[in-house]
Amino acid sequence: MSFSKQTIDHVDLHNKRVLIRVDFNVPLDDTCHITDDSRIRATLPTINWAIDDDAVVILCSHLGRPKGTANPALSLAPVAKRLQRLLNKPVAFTEDCIGPTAESVVKNAQPGDVILLENLRFHPGEEKNDDQFSAQLAALADVYINEAFGTAHRSHASTVGITKYVKVSAAGFLMKHEVETLEGTVENPVRPFVAILGGAKVSGKIEVIKNLTGKVDKVIIGGGMAFTFIKAMGFEIGLSLVENNMLDLAKKIHEQAIAQKIKFYLPVDCVVAASLSPEAETKIVTIQEIPPDWYGMDIGPASVRLFGEAVQNAKTILWNGPMGVFERDAFSRGTYAMAHSVANAYAYTVVGGGDTALAVHRAGESESMDFISTGGGAALQLLEGNHMPGLAALPDRPY
Ligand code: AMP
């Protein structure tokens, strides 16, 4: 699948002010330390490309949800520090992303310098895709590069509005790689192609399930969403997560998949907890024997074995959504076991960002996957086959 948009290597960056919208929305702990810098590392090829081309490199990003007001706990200052180490060169940090401070730092910069602007979402205009804010950002740059795949599904000033005000726009290498890999995996997989879907709710992934069931050879469903399917089959699911308004749809999807000769796997057992408290009693039961008043929190050992066998002959695996409440040790085994099975399969393995990427990281299997998306919601939108505003706003490639 070839990428249809103009990319950074199509445009002249020499001595230009190049504003790169990156996704530096990294996880921070309580003391504002970065706990996973993969999103920063993933943009280094694009940043280095611009430095090598003697551009003044201006980076901008959001971090967290400050909702339009400055919040020191969500400052990008720790990111500037980390980036400085990764690039092995100074990174100037501006305390505001627009206005006189940013303008003067950019004005005094030399070709090859790197500047990181403070959190875009400290201004309400960012998420509102406000024209004035877009124009103020654009005033800092001659060329705009969108490298923020993780935010490409949002119509914000720094992803969409700005393209109206800069003369030259293009995508970065990470954006291109993400789109090509995710679209290419779904549209042109080496078969057997297995989709593993988990996470909390069916409703959040219904479009992905619909889009993928027409394309995959096998579907494996785990996580909270499995209980809606299990209930739709007529079983008792106790107090497990369920979406009663999705029961008919779940039944229909299951039946259609079987009619289309797609192998459709659901858990055969699960780990249940007597309450949601961390000290609650837990036990393993088959899905036929989930007790009323208990909560289904993870897939059980028989499902781990079953799913492990189902992925063994796969040539392409796409995984989105954890198999259980993996954030809690007692319910993390199913997800981690799935990570090991996917890693050990002799297949091209693609992980769809967000929680699944974190789970794979915690399972120690990140290095074994072929591709881990940097975008959670954005990856889902692509897998649904949906339009991405941040991509649509970029011009098509010239040849
Ligand atoms: P999603 O954002 O839809 O991929 O959902 C991820 C969340 O689903 C994680 O935070 C998990 O804790 C949660 N999850 C997975 N399995 C279950 C379950 N059986 N019951 C409740 N939540 C679950």
Ligand 1 binding pocket includes 296 (Cβ within 6 Å):
yes
Whether 259 is in a domain gets the answer yes
Q: Which of 296, 334, 354, 390 is catalytic?
A: 354
Whether 393 is in a domain gets the answer no
CA of 283 from ligand 1 middle (Å) equals 19
Whether 309 is in a domain gets the answer yes
Q: Whose CA is nearest to atom 6 of ligand 1?
A: 199
Q: What DSSP letter does each residue of 96-128 carry, written as one string?
A: SSSHHHHHHHHHTPPTT-EEEE--GGGSHHHHT
CA of 48 from ligand 1 middle (Å) equals 37
Whether 377 is catalytic:
yes
CA of 327 from ligand 1 middle (Å) equals 9
Q: 346, 347, 367: which is closest to 357 by C-alpha?
A: 367
214 & 360 share domain: yes
Ligand 1 binding pocket includes 325 (Cβ within 6 Å):
yes
Name the residue of 209, 241, 271, 351 to mutate for ligand 1: max ligand atoms within 8 A of Cβ: 241
CA of 199 from ligand 1 middle (Å) equals 4
In this prediction, the residues of the chain whose per-residue pLDDT falls under 70 are 1
150 & 222 share domain: no
Whether 138 is in a domain gets the answer yes
Q: Reduced to 3 states, what is the DSSP secondary structure of residue 141? A: coil
Among the candidates 176, 208, 230, a domain finishes at 176
Question: CB neighbours of 304 closer than 8 A, spacing ≥ 6?
Answer: 333, 334, 337, 338, 341
Q: 61, 57, 40: which is closest to 120 by C-alpha?
A: 61
Query: Residue 136: phi, psi to the nearest 5?
Result: -65, -40
Please give the pLDDT value at position 129.
Answer: 98
152 & 241 share domain: no
Whether 315 is catalytic:
no
Q: Whose CA is nearest to atom 17 of ligand 1?
A: 224
What's the CA gap between 398 and 22, in Å, rounded? 23
Domains in the chain, number: 2
Whether 390 is in a domain gets the answer no
Name the residue of 282, 284, 298, 355 to mutate for ligand 1: max ligand atoms within 8 A of Cβ: 355
Indicate which CATH number applies to the domain containing 15: 3.40.50.1260
285 & 366 share domain: yes
Name the residue of 220, 282, 290, 325 to mutate for ligand 1: max ligand atoms within 8 A of Cβ: 325
**Atom of ligand 1 lying closest to residue 297 CA:** 19
CA-atom Rg of the chain in angstroms: 23
Amino acid at 118: E
Q: 8, 171, 137, 123: which is closest to 60 by C-alpha?
A: 137
Angle of helix 354-362 versus helix 333-344 axis, rounded to 10 = 80
Whether 394 is in a domain gets the answer no
Instruction: Give per-residue burial for 30-62: e unless 16+ CB within 10 Å, then b.
Output: eeeebeebebbebbeebbebbbebebbbbbbbb
337 & 364 share domain: yes
Please give the pLDDT value at position 1.
Answer: 60
Q: Which conformational region is residue 223 in: left (phi greater than 0), alpha (psi within -120 to 50 degrees), or beta?
A: left
Angle of helix 225-232 versus helix 247-259 axis, rounded to 10 = 80
Among the candidates 176, 206, 226, a domain finishes at 176
Please give the pLDDT value at position 201.
Answer: 85
Q: Reduced to 3 states, what is the DSSP secondary structure of residue 153? A: coil
Whether 68 is catalytic:
no
75 & 206 share domain: no
148 & 213 share domain: no
322 & 228 share domain: yes
Q: 393, 380, 397, 379: which is closest to 129 by C-alpha?
A: 393
122 & 247 share domain: no
Question: CB neighbours of 271 closer than 8 A, spacing ≥ 6?
Answer: 282, 283, 284, 296, 297, 298, 299, 300, 324, 330, 331, 333, 334
**DSSP H/E element including 165:** none
Q: Please say whether the dihedral angle defined by the alpha carbons of residues 390, 392, 394 and 399, taken in this order, is positive or negative.
A: positive
Amino acid at 129: N
Instruction: Count Cα atoms within 13 angstroms, Cβ side, for 370.
Output: 18
CA of 222 from ligand 1 middle (Å) equals 9
171 & 202 share domain: no
pTM over 0.85: yes
Whether 278 is in a domain gets the answer yes
280 & 139 share domain: no
Q: Reduced to 3 states, what is the DSSP secondary structure of residue 268? A: coil
Q: Whose CA is nearest to atom 10 of ligand 1?
A: 325
Please give the pLDDT value at position 323.
Answer: 98
Instruction: Provide the β-strand partners of residue 299.
Output: 270
Cα angle 272, 275, 281; round to 5: 60
97 & 31 share domain: yes
| CB-based contact 350:387 (threshold 8 Å) | no
Ligand 1 binding pocket includes 267 (Cβ within 6 Å):
no
CB atoms within 10 A of CB 289: 13
pLDDT tens-digit series, residues 127-154: 999 999 999 999 999 999 999 999 999 9
Q: Which of 5, 16, 39, 205 is catalytic?
A: 39
Whether 59 is in a domain gets the answer yes
Domain span including residue 265: 189-383
